Structure 1
Protein backbone atom coordinates (compact mmCIF):
# COMPACT_ATOMS: atom_id res chain seq x y z
CA UNK A 1 0.00 0.00 0.00
CA UNK A 2 1.17 3.53 -0.78
CA UNK A 3 0.98 5.91 2.16
CA UNK A 4 0.28 9.60 1.60
CA UNK A 5 -0.99 12.39 3.81
CA UNK A 6 -4.27 12.28 1.91
CA UNK A 7 -4.74 8.52 2.23
CA UNK A 8 -3.83 8.60 5.91
CA UNK A 9 -5.30 11.86 7.21
CA UNK A 10 -7.30 13.31 4.34
CA UNK A 11 -10.64 14.81 5.34
CA UNK A 12 -10.89 17.36 2.52
CA UNK A 13 -14.47 17.91 1.47
CA UNK A 14 -15.89 16.04 4.45
CA UNK A 15 -18.91 17.61 6.13
CA UNK A 16 -18.53 17.90 9.89
CA UNK A 17 -20.85 19.04 12.67
CA UNK A 18 -19.26 20.24 15.91
CA UNK A 19 -21.47 21.03 18.90
CA UNK A 20 -20.38 23.39 21.64
CA UNK A 21 -18.28 25.03 18.94
CA UNK A 22 -18.62 28.71 19.77
CA UNK A 23 -15.62 28.65 22.13
CA UNK A 24 -13.24 26.43 24.07
CA UNK A 25 -12.35 22.93 22.87
CA UNK A 26 -15.23 22.85 20.39
CA UNK A 27 -13.96 25.99 18.67
CA UNK A 28 -10.41 24.57 18.44
CA UNK A 29 -11.71 21.33 16.92
CA UNK A 30 -13.81 23.27 14.40
CA UNK A 31 -10.77 25.34 13.39
CA UNK A 32 -8.65 22.20 12.93
CA UNK A 33 -11.25 20.44 10.80
CA UNK A 34 -11.75 23.54 8.64
CA UNK A 35 -7.99 24.03 8.31
CA UNK A 36 -7.72 20.52 6.87
CA UNK A 37 -10.35 21.18 4.24
CA UNK A 38 -13.58 20.03 5.85
CA UNK A 39 -16.84 21.93 5.59
CA UNK A 40 -17.72 22.60 9.22
CA UNK A 41 -21.07 23.37 10.81
CA UNK A 42 -20.63 25.03 14.19
CA UNK A 43 -23.49 24.45 16.61
CA UNK A 44 -24.09 26.27 19.89
CA UNK A 45 -26.97 27.16 22.15
CA UNK A 46 -25.48 30.67 22.51
CA UNK A 47 -26.20 32.62 19.31
CA UNK A 48 -24.07 35.66 20.18
CA UNK A 49 -20.89 33.66 20.83
CA UNK A 50 -21.64 31.53 17.77
CA UNK A 51 -22.04 34.55 15.48
CA UNK A 52 -18.70 36.02 16.56
CA UNK A 53 -16.86 32.71 16.16
CA UNK A 54 -18.32 31.93 12.74
CA UNK A 55 -17.56 35.47 11.54
CA UNK A 56 -13.99 35.15 12.80
CA UNK A 57 -13.44 31.85 10.99
CA UNK A 58 -15.12 32.96 7.77
CA UNK A 59 -12.89 36.06 7.68
CA UNK A 60 -9.91 33.68 7.80
CA UNK A 61 -11.24 31.92 4.72
CA UNK A 62 -12.58 28.78 6.38
CA UNK A 63 -15.61 26.99 4.91
CA UNK A 64 -17.88 27.18 7.95
CA UNK A 65 -21.43 28.06 8.87
CA UNK A 66 -23.16 28.38 12.22
CA UNK A 67 -26.53 27.06 13.34
CA UNK A 68 -27.89 27.93 16.79
CA UNK A 69 -29.50 24.86 18.37
CA UNK A 70 -30.32 23.42 21.78
CA UNK A 71 -29.01 19.86 21.66
CA UNK A 72 -31.26 18.81 24.55
CA UNK A 73 -34.40 19.37 22.44
CA UNK A 74 -35.14 16.56 19.97
CA UNK A 75 -37.13 18.71 17.53
CA UNK A 76 -34.38 21.36 17.60
CA UNK A 77 -31.70 18.78 16.92
CA UNK A 78 -33.60 17.06 14.11
CA UNK A 79 -34.37 20.33 12.35
CA UNK A 80 -30.72 21.39 12.50
CA UNK A 81 -29.41 18.03 11.27
CA UNK A 82 -31.98 17.89 8.46
CA UNK A 83 -30.91 21.37 7.38
CA UNK A 84 -27.24 20.33 7.23
CA UNK A 85 -28.05 17.17 5.27
CA UNK A 86 -30.21 19.11 2.84
CA UNK A 87 -27.62 21.83 2.28
CA UNK A 88 -24.55 19.60 1.92
CA UNK A 89 -26.06 16.27 0.85
CA UNK A 90 -24.20 14.30 3.52
CA UNK A 91 -22.77 14.32 7.04
CA UNK A 92 -19.41 12.58 7.45
CA UNK A 93 -18.25 13.63 10.91
CA UNK A 94 -19.95 14.49 14.20
CA UNK A 95 -18.02 15.82 17.19
CA UNK A 96 -20.12 16.15 20.34
CA UNK A 97 -18.38 18.79 22.42
CA UNK A 98 -21.29 20.56 24.12
CA UNK A 99 -21.00 20.11 27.86
CA UNK A 100 -21.66 21.73 31.23
CA UNK A 101 -20.57 21.19 34.82
CA UNK A 102 -21.71 22.10 38.32
CA UNK A 103 -19.82 21.62 41.57
CA UNK A 104 -21.66 21.21 44.87
CA UNK A 105 -21.51 18.97 47.94
CA UNK A 106 -23.51 15.78 47.48
CA UNK A 107 -25.96 16.45 50.32
CA UNK A 108 -26.79 19.88 48.87
CA UNK A 109 -26.71 19.04 45.17
CA UNK A 110 -29.83 20.49 43.57
CA UNK A 111 -32.05 18.24 41.50
CA UNK A 112 -32.39 20.94 38.85
CA UNK A 113 -28.61 21.11 38.43
CA UNK A 114 -28.37 17.32 38.19
CA UNK A 115 -31.02 17.33 35.45
CA UNK A 116 -29.29 20.17 33.58
CA UNK A 117 -25.88 18.49 33.50
CA UNK A 118 -27.34 15.12 32.49
CA UNK A 119 -29.53 16.67 29.79
CA UNK A 120 -26.69 18.56 28.12
CA UNK A 121 -23.87 16.05 28.54
CA UNK A 122 -25.70 12.76 28.04
CA UNK A 123 -29.14 13.33 26.51
CA UNK A 124 -27.84 15.97 24.13
CA UNK A 125 -25.04 13.69 22.98
CA UNK A 126 -27.46 10.84 22.35
CA UNK A 127 -29.95 13.01 20.46
CA UNK A 128 -27.16 14.28 18.19
CA UNK A 129 -25.86 10.76 17.59
CA UNK A 130 -29.37 9.52 16.88
CA UNK A 131 -30.24 12.27 14.39
CA UNK A 132 -26.90 12.22 12.56
CA UNK A 133 -26.69 8.43 12.77
CA UNK A 134 -29.80 8.06 10.59
CA UNK A 135 -28.02 9.79 7.73
CA UNK A 136 -24.76 7.94 8.31
CA UNK A 137 -26.54 4.57 8.31
CA UNK A 138 -28.12 5.44 4.94
CA UNK A 139 -24.69 6.14 3.46
CA UNK A 140 -22.86 3.34 5.32
CA UNK A 141 -20.18 5.82 6.37
CA UNK A 142 -19.44 8.04 9.33
CA UNK A 143 -17.22 9.08 12.20
CA UNK A 144 -18.60 10.15 15.60
CA UNK A 145 -16.34 11.46 18.34
CA UNK A 146 -17.75 12.27 21.79
CA UNK A 147 -15.71 14.54 24.06
CA UNK A 148 -15.65 12.80 27.42
CA UNK A 149 -13.34 13.28 30.43
CA UNK A 150 -10.97 11.41 32.71
CA UNK A 151 -13.65 12.01 35.34
CA UNK A 152 -15.76 9.42 33.56
CA UNK A 153 -13.28 6.94 35.00
CA UNK A 154 -12.06 8.77 38.11
CA UNK A 155 -14.56 10.83 40.11
CA UNK A 156 -13.84 13.75 42.41
CA UNK A 157 -15.57 15.42 45.33
CA UNK A 158 -18.48 17.77 44.54
CA UNK A 159 -18.67 16.45 40.98
CA UNK A 160 -21.91 14.58 41.50
CA UNK A 161 -23.36 15.00 37.99
CA UNK A 162 -20.54 15.76 35.55
CA UNK A 163 -18.45 12.66 36.32
CA UNK A 164 -21.45 10.26 36.13
CA UNK A 165 -22.58 11.94 32.89
CA UNK A 166 -19.19 11.30 31.31
CA UNK A 167 -19.10 7.69 32.54
CA UNK A 168 -22.48 7.19 30.91
CA UNK A 169 -21.24 8.91 27.75
CA UNK A 170 -18.39 6.38 27.57
CA UNK A 171 -20.86 3.49 27.73
CA UNK A 172 -23.11 5.19 25.17
CA UNK A 173 -20.07 5.47 22.89
CA UNK A 174 -19.36 1.75 23.20
CA UNK A 175 -22.98 0.71 22.70
CA UNK A 176 -23.32 2.82 19.55
CA UNK A 177 -20.00 1.50 18.28
CA UNK A 178 -21.26 -2.08 18.58
CA UNK A 179 -24.62 -1.35 16.96
CA UNK A 180 -23.21 0.65 14.04
CA UNK A 181 -19.96 -1.22 13.38
CA UNK A 182 -21.45 -3.15 10.44
CA UNK A 183 -22.77 0.14 9.05
CA UNK A 184 -19.18 1.41 8.68
CA UNK A 185 -19.76 4.03 11.36
CA UNK A 186 -16.98 4.42 13.91
CA UNK A 187 -17.97 5.81 17.31
CA UNK A 188 -15.20 6.80 19.72
CA UNK A 189 -14.58 9.20 22.59
CA UNK A 190 -11.69 11.47 23.50
CA UNK A 191 -11.32 11.92 27.25
CA UNK A 192 -9.00 14.77 28.26
CA UNK A 193 -7.89 15.78 31.70
CA UNK A 194 -8.34 19.36 32.93
CA UNK A 195 -7.09 22.07 30.59
CA UNK A 196 -5.44 25.42 31.16
CA UNK A 197 -8.69 26.97 29.91
CA UNK A 198 -10.51 25.37 32.87
CA UNK A 199 -8.44 27.56 35.17
CA UNK A 200 -9.30 30.69 33.19
CA UNK A 201 -13.04 30.06 33.37
CA UNK A 202 -12.98 28.95 37.01
CA UNK A 203 -13.87 25.27 36.63
CA UNK A 204 -11.17 24.17 39.04
CA UNK A 205 -12.45 26.47 41.75
CA UNK A 206 -9.34 27.25 43.80
CA UNK A 207 -5.63 26.54 44.26
CA UNK A 208 -6.32 23.48 46.42
CA UNK A 209 -8.31 21.83 43.63
CA UNK A 210 -5.69 22.80 41.06
CA UNK A 211 -2.98 21.21 43.19
CA UNK A 212 -5.12 18.07 43.56
CA UNK A 213 -5.34 17.80 39.77
CA UNK A 214 -1.66 18.45 39.11
CA UNK A 215 -0.62 15.80 41.64
CA UNK A 216 -2.54 13.23 39.62
CA UNK A 217 -0.97 14.06 36.26
CA UNK A 218 2.45 12.41 35.83
CA UNK A 219 3.45 15.08 33.30
CA UNK A 220 2.83 17.64 36.05
CA UNK A 221 0.88 20.15 33.97
CA UNK A 222 -2.58 20.81 32.62
CA UNK A 223 -3.60 19.88 29.10
CA UNK A 224 -3.59 22.58 26.43
CA UNK A 225 -6.68 22.64 24.23
CA UNK A 226 -4.74 22.12 21.01
CA UNK A 227 -3.33 18.86 22.42
CA UNK A 228 -6.87 17.48 22.30
CA UNK A 229 -7.28 18.38 18.63
CA UNK A 230 -4.77 15.84 17.29
CA UNK A 231 -6.50 12.76 18.73
CA UNK A 232 -9.86 14.02 17.46
CA UNK A 233 -8.48 14.51 13.94
CA UNK A 234 -6.93 11.04 14.07
CA UNK A 235 -10.30 9.49 14.91
CA UNK A 236 -11.96 11.46 12.09
CA UNK A 237 -9.38 10.34 9.55
CA UNK A 238 -8.81 7.22 7.42
CA UNK A 239 -6.02 6.35 9.87
CA UNK A 240 -8.67 5.27 12.39
CA UNK A 241 -10.60 3.02 9.98
CA UNK A 242 -10.46 0.04 12.38
CA UNK A 243 -10.78 1.99 15.63
CA UNK A 244 -14.25 2.03 17.18
CA UNK A 245 -15.69 1.87 20.68
CA UNK A 246 -12.45 3.28 22.08
CA UNK A 247 -12.04 5.86 24.86
CA UNK A 248 -8.83 7.72 24.03
CA UNK A 249 -7.45 9.37 27.16
CA UNK A 250 -5.55 12.62 26.64
CA UNK A 251 -4.53 12.97 30.24
CA UNK A 252 -0.77 13.26 30.68
CA UNK A 253 -0.80 9.84 32.31
CA UNK A 254 -3.64 10.41 34.83
CA UNK A 255 -5.27 7.05 34.12
CA UNK A 256 -2.06 4.98 34.28
CA UNK A 257 -2.40 4.21 37.98
Structure 2
Protein backbone atom coordinates (compact mmCIF):
# COMPACT_ATOMS: atom_id res chain seq x y z
CA UNK A 1 0.00 0.00 0.00
CA UNK A 2 1.53 3.33 -1.01
CA UNK A 3 1.59 6.36 1.27
CA UNK A 4 -1.28 8.14 -0.50
CA UNK A 5 -3.52 5.12 -0.01
CA UNK A 6 -2.51 4.83 3.65
CA UNK A 7 -3.73 8.36 4.31
CA UNK A 8 -6.72 8.36 1.96
CA UNK A 9 -10.19 8.65 3.46
CA UNK A 10 -12.05 8.24 0.18
CA UNK A 11 -15.53 6.75 0.75
CA UNK A 12 -15.07 7.00 4.54
CA UNK A 13 -17.57 8.83 6.75
CA UNK A 14 -16.58 10.87 9.79
CA UNK A 15 -18.66 12.36 12.59
CA UNK A 16 -17.12 15.33 14.39
CA UNK A 17 -18.92 16.54 17.51
CA UNK A 18 -18.66 20.25 18.14
CA UNK A 19 -17.45 20.38 14.56
CA UNK A 20 -19.01 23.59 13.32
CA UNK A 21 -16.15 25.84 14.35
CA UNK A 22 -12.81 26.01 16.16
CA UNK A 23 -10.66 22.91 16.48
CA UNK A 24 -13.54 20.67 15.39
CA UNK A 25 -13.88 22.51 12.08
CA UNK A 26 -10.11 22.41 11.60
CA UNK A 27 -10.06 18.63 11.93
CA UNK A 28 -13.19 18.22 9.80
CA UNK A 29 -11.49 20.15 6.99
CA UNK A 30 -8.47 17.86 7.20
CA UNK A 31 -10.61 14.74 6.88
CA UNK A 32 -12.66 16.29 4.07
CA UNK A 33 -9.49 17.17 2.15
CA UNK A 34 -8.50 13.49 2.41
CA UNK A 35 -11.81 12.45 0.82
CA UNK A 36 -14.12 11.76 3.75
CA UNK A 37 -17.84 12.48 3.99
CA UNK A 38 -18.38 14.79 6.95
CA UNK A 39 -21.10 14.95 9.60
CA UNK A 40 -20.80 17.77 12.11
CA UNK A 41 -23.06 18.08 15.11
CA UNK A 42 -23.44 20.35 18.12
CA UNK A 43 -26.11 22.30 19.97
CA UNK A 44 -25.32 25.23 17.66
CA UNK A 45 -27.02 23.96 14.51
CA UNK A 46 -26.59 27.28 12.70
CA UNK A 47 -22.80 27.14 13.00
CA UNK A 48 -22.80 23.54 11.77
CA UNK A 49 -25.03 24.38 8.80
CA UNK A 50 -22.88 27.37 7.83
CA UNK A 51 -19.76 25.22 7.98
CA UNK A 52 -21.33 22.40 5.98
CA UNK A 53 -22.42 24.85 3.31
CA UNK A 54 -18.79 25.86 2.89
CA UNK A 55 -17.75 22.22 2.61
CA UNK A 56 -20.53 21.49 0.11
CA UNK A 57 -19.38 24.40 -2.06
CA UNK A 58 -15.97 22.74 -2.20
CA UNK A 59 -17.41 19.43 -3.37
CA UNK A 60 -17.52 17.70 0.02
CA UNK A 61 -20.54 15.62 1.03
CA UNK A 62 -21.37 17.11 4.43
CA UNK A 63 -24.33 17.10 6.77
CA UNK A 64 -25.16 19.18 9.86
CA UNK A 65 -27.23 17.80 12.74
CA UNK A 66 -28.22 19.37 16.03
CA UNK A 67 -27.02 17.35 19.01
CA UNK A 68 -26.58 17.71 22.75
CA UNK A 69 -23.90 15.12 23.50
CA UNK A 70 -25.26 14.61 27.01
CA UNK A 71 -28.56 13.42 25.54
CA UNK A 72 -28.57 9.79 24.43
CA UNK A 73 -31.57 10.28 22.13
CA UNK A 74 -29.80 13.14 20.33
CA UNK A 75 -26.71 10.98 19.89
CA UNK A 76 -28.71 8.08 18.48
CA UNK A 77 -30.40 10.43 16.04
CA UNK A 78 -26.98 11.49 14.72
CA UNK A 79 -25.92 7.85 14.40
CA UNK A 80 -29.12 6.87 12.60
CA UNK A 81 -29.10 9.83 10.19
CA UNK A 82 -25.43 9.29 9.37
CA UNK A 83 -25.93 5.61 8.55
CA UNK A 84 -29.07 6.41 6.58
CA UNK A 85 -27.25 9.06 4.52
CA UNK A 86 -23.81 7.49 4.08
CA UNK A 87 -24.18 3.81 5.00
CA UNK A 88 -21.28 3.66 7.45
CA UNK A 89 -19.54 5.39 10.33
CA UNK A 90 -15.80 4.97 9.96
CA UNK A 91 -14.46 7.78 12.13
CA UNK A 92 -15.69 9.54 15.25
CA UNK A 93 -13.95 12.61 16.62
CA UNK A 94 -15.24 13.38 20.12
CA UNK A 95 -14.50 17.09 20.14
CA UNK A 96 -17.41 18.67 22.05
CA UNK A 97 -16.25 20.27 25.28
CA UNK A 98 -16.91 22.94 27.85
CA UNK A 99 -15.12 24.52 30.79
CA UNK A 100 -15.76 26.57 33.91
CA UNK A 101 -13.22 28.93 35.42
CA UNK A 102 -13.54 29.37 39.18
CA UNK A 103 -11.44 29.05 42.33
CA UNK A 104 -11.34 25.39 43.33
CA UNK A 105 -12.88 25.96 46.76
CA UNK A 106 -15.74 27.96 45.24
CA UNK A 107 -16.65 25.82 42.23
CA UNK A 108 -20.43 25.22 42.24
CA UNK A 109 -21.56 21.61 42.16
CA UNK A 110 -23.76 22.15 39.10
CA UNK A 111 -20.81 23.54 37.12
CA UNK A 112 -18.72 20.50 38.01
CA UNK A 113 -21.56 18.28 36.78
CA UNK A 114 -21.97 20.29 33.58
CA UNK A 115 -18.29 19.97 32.66
CA UNK A 116 -18.20 16.26 33.47
CA UNK A 117 -21.41 15.54 31.57
CA UNK A 118 -20.24 17.22 28.37
CA UNK A 119 -16.53 16.36 28.42
CA UNK A 120 -16.71 12.80 29.75
CA UNK A 121 -20.23 11.33 29.80
CA UNK A 122 -21.03 12.64 26.33
CA UNK A 123 -17.78 11.25 24.98
CA UNK A 124 -18.52 7.80 26.37
CA UNK A 125 -22.12 7.76 25.14
CA UNK A 126 -21.11 8.81 21.62
CA UNK A 127 -18.26 6.29 21.53
CA UNK A 128 -20.64 3.58 22.69
CA UNK A 129 -23.23 4.40 20.03
CA UNK A 130 -20.74 4.75 17.17
CA UNK A 131 -18.77 1.77 18.44
CA UNK A 132 -21.77 -0.52 17.90
CA UNK A 133 -21.82 0.40 14.22
CA UNK A 134 -18.04 0.09 13.90
CA UNK A 135 -18.07 -3.32 15.62
CA UNK A 136 -20.57 -4.64 13.05
CA UNK A 137 -18.34 -3.32 10.27
CA UNK A 138 -15.23 -4.79 11.86
CA UNK A 139 -13.32 -1.50 11.74
CA UNK A 140 -13.36 2.07 13.00
CA UNK A 141 -11.42 4.99 14.39
CA UNK A 142 -12.36 6.92 17.54
CA UNK A 143 -10.39 10.07 18.30
CA UNK A 144 -10.99 11.74 21.65
CA UNK A 145 -9.96 15.36 22.17
CA UNK A 146 -8.21 15.73 25.49
CA UNK A 147 -5.91 18.56 26.66
CA UNK A 148 -2.45 19.08 28.08
CA UNK A 149 -4.24 20.31 31.20
CA UNK A 150 -5.38 16.74 31.81
CA UNK A 151 -1.81 15.49 32.01
CA UNK A 152 -0.45 17.63 34.83
CA UNK A 153 -2.00 19.87 37.47
CA UNK A 154 -2.00 23.58 36.75
CA UNK A 155 -1.11 26.50 38.98
CA UNK A 156 -4.36 28.40 39.70
CA UNK A 157 -2.64 31.62 38.70
CA UNK A 158 -2.10 30.00 35.32
CA UNK A 159 -5.47 28.23 34.97
CA UNK A 160 -8.10 27.74 37.68
CA UNK A 161 -10.36 25.12 36.07
CA UNK A 162 -10.24 21.97 38.15
CA UNK A 163 -13.36 20.40 36.64
CA UNK A 164 -12.04 20.86 33.09
CA UNK A 165 -8.58 19.53 33.97
CA UNK A 166 -10.05 16.54 35.81
CA UNK A 167 -12.41 15.73 32.95
CA UNK A 168 -9.54 15.73 30.47
CA UNK A 169 -7.48 13.47 32.70
CA UNK A 170 -10.45 11.10 32.73
CA UNK A 171 -10.63 11.35 28.93
CA UNK A 172 -7.09 9.99 28.76
CA UNK A 173 -8.06 7.03 30.96
CA UNK A 174 -11.26 6.46 28.98
CA UNK A 175 -9.25 6.44 25.76
CA UNK A 176 -6.84 3.79 27.03
CA UNK A 177 -9.57 1.54 28.38
CA UNK A 178 -11.83 1.89 25.34
CA UNK A 179 -8.86 1.00 23.17
CA UNK A 180 -8.45 -2.30 25.01
CA UNK A 181 -12.17 -3.07 25.11
CA UNK A 182 -12.70 -2.41 21.38
CA UNK A 183 -9.44 -3.80 19.97
CA UNK A 184 -11.02 -7.17 19.18
CA UNK A 185 -13.41 -5.35 16.83
CA UNK A 186 -10.47 -3.75 14.97
CA UNK A 187 -11.44 -0.33 16.31
CA UNK A 188 -8.55 1.97 17.21
CA UNK A 189 -9.13 4.52 19.97
CA UNK A 190 -6.63 7.32 20.48
CA UNK A 191 -6.63 10.85 21.84
CA UNK A 192 -5.17 14.19 20.88
CA UNK A 193 -4.10 16.47 23.73
CA UNK A 194 -3.77 19.98 22.28
CA UNK A 195 -1.88 22.72 24.03
CA UNK A 196 -3.17 26.26 23.72
CA UNK A 197 -5.07 27.01 20.52
CA UNK A 198 -7.30 30.07 19.98
CA UNK A 199 -10.86 28.91 20.64
CA UNK A 200 -14.02 29.81 22.54
CA UNK A 201 -12.74 27.95 25.60
CA UNK A 202 -9.27 29.51 25.55
CA UNK A 203 -10.68 33.03 25.45
CA UNK A 204 -11.12 32.47 29.19
CA UNK A 205 -7.33 32.48 29.44
CA UNK A 206 -6.81 35.90 27.83
CA UNK A 207 -5.54 37.56 31.00
CA UNK A 208 -2.78 34.96 31.29
CA UNK A 209 -1.96 34.60 27.58
CA UNK A 210 1.45 36.23 27.84
CA UNK A 211 2.37 34.01 30.79
CA UNK A 212 1.29 30.94 28.84
CA UNK A 213 3.13 32.05 25.70
CA UNK A 214 6.36 32.58 27.64
CA UNK A 215 6.27 28.90 28.68
CA UNK A 216 5.78 27.45 25.20
CA UNK A 217 9.20 26.57 23.74
CA UNK A 218 7.86 26.96 20.18
CA UNK A 219 7.09 30.58 21.05
CA UNK A 220 3.56 30.58 19.66
CA UNK A 221 0.04 29.25 20.14
CA UNK A 222 -1.45 26.56 17.91
CA UNK A 223 -2.70 27.62 14.47
CA UNK A 224 -5.48 26.56 12.11
CA UNK A 225 -3.22 23.90 10.59
CA UNK A 226 -1.52 22.36 13.62
CA UNK A 227 -4.09 19.63 14.36
CA UNK A 228 -4.86 18.64 10.78
CA UNK A 229 -1.97 16.21 10.33
CA UNK A 230 -2.55 14.45 13.64
CA UNK A 231 -6.28 14.12 13.00
CA UNK A 232 -5.69 12.66 9.54
CA UNK A 233 -3.07 10.21 10.83
CA UNK A 234 -5.35 8.89 13.58
CA UNK A 235 -8.35 8.72 11.24
CA UNK A 236 -6.55 6.82 8.47
CA UNK A 237 -5.10 3.36 7.95
CA UNK A 238 -1.68 4.85 8.70
CA UNK A 239 -2.49 4.42 12.41
CA UNK A 240 -3.99 0.91 12.25
CA UNK A 241 -1.42 -0.49 14.70
CA UNK A 242 -1.65 2.43 17.14
CA UNK A 243 -4.29 2.41 19.85
CA UNK A 244 -4.71 3.66 23.41
CA UNK A 245 -2.30 6.55 22.90
CA UNK A 246 -2.52 10.24 23.81
CA UNK A 247 -0.81 12.37 21.19
CA UNK A 248 0.35 15.68 22.67
CA UNK A 249 0.44 18.69 20.34
CA UNK A 250 1.53 21.66 22.41
CA UNK A 251 4.68 23.26 20.99
CA UNK A 252 6.72 21.61 23.75
CA UNK A 253 4.78 23.06 26.70
CA UNK A 254 4.45 19.88 28.77
CA UNK A 255 8.02 18.78 28.09
CA UNK A 256 9.37 22.09 29.37
CA UNK A 257 7.42 22.23 32.66
Range of TM-score over shorter length: over 0.9
Aligned length: 252
100-109 vs 182-191, which deviates more? 100-109
Q: What's 1:64 paired with?
A: 62
CA–CA distance in structure 1, aligned partners of residues 75 and 10 of structure 2: 25
Contact 1:197-1:224 within 8 A present in 2 as well: no
Report the alpha carbon displacement of residue 198 of structure 1 after superposing the two structures with TM.
5.8
Q: What's 2:3 paired with?
A: 4
Structure 1 residue ranges, 4+ long, deviating more than 4 angstroms after superposition: none
Contact 1:149-1:193 within 8 A present in 2 as well: yes
Q: What's 1:245 paired with?
A: 244
TM (norm. structure 1) is 0.93
Which of 87, 91, 97 is the aligned partner of 2:85?
87
Q: What's 1:160 paired with?
A: 162
CA–CA distance in structure 1, aligned partners of residues 166 and 88 of structure 2: 33
Output aligned runs, 1:153-192, within 5 Å.
153-156=151-154, 157=156, 158-192=160-194
Output aligned runs, 1:10-49, within 5 Å.
10-49=8-47
Contact 1:70-1:77 within 8 A present in 2 as well: yes
Q: Does 1:203 pair with 2:201?
A: no
CA–CA distance in structure 1, aligned partners of residues 67 and 199 of structure 2: 24
Contact 1:197-1:225 within 8 A present in 2 as well: no
CA–CA distance in structure 2, aligned partners of residues 44 and 90 of structure 1: 20
Output aligned runs, 1:126-137, within 5 Å.
126-137=124-135
CA–CA distance in structure 2, aligned partners of residues 180 and 50 of structure 1: 29
SS of match in other structure, 2:192: strand
CA–CA distance in structure 1, aligned partners of residues 167 and 211 of structure 2: 21
Report the alpha carbon displacement of residue 167 of structure 1 after superposing the two structures with TM.
0.3
Report the alpha carbon displacement of residue 88 of structure 1 after superposing the two structures with TM.
1.8
SS of match in other structure, 2:14: strand
Q: Structure 1, residues 99-127: CA drift from partner, whole Å, max 9, x if none?
A: 11111111211111111111111111111
Report the alpha carbon displacement of residue 234 of structure 1 after superposing the two structures with TM.
0.4
CA–CA distance in structure 2, aligned partners of residues 244 and 56 of structure 1: 32
Report the alpha carbon displacement of residue 11 of structure 1 after superposing the two structures with TM.
0.9
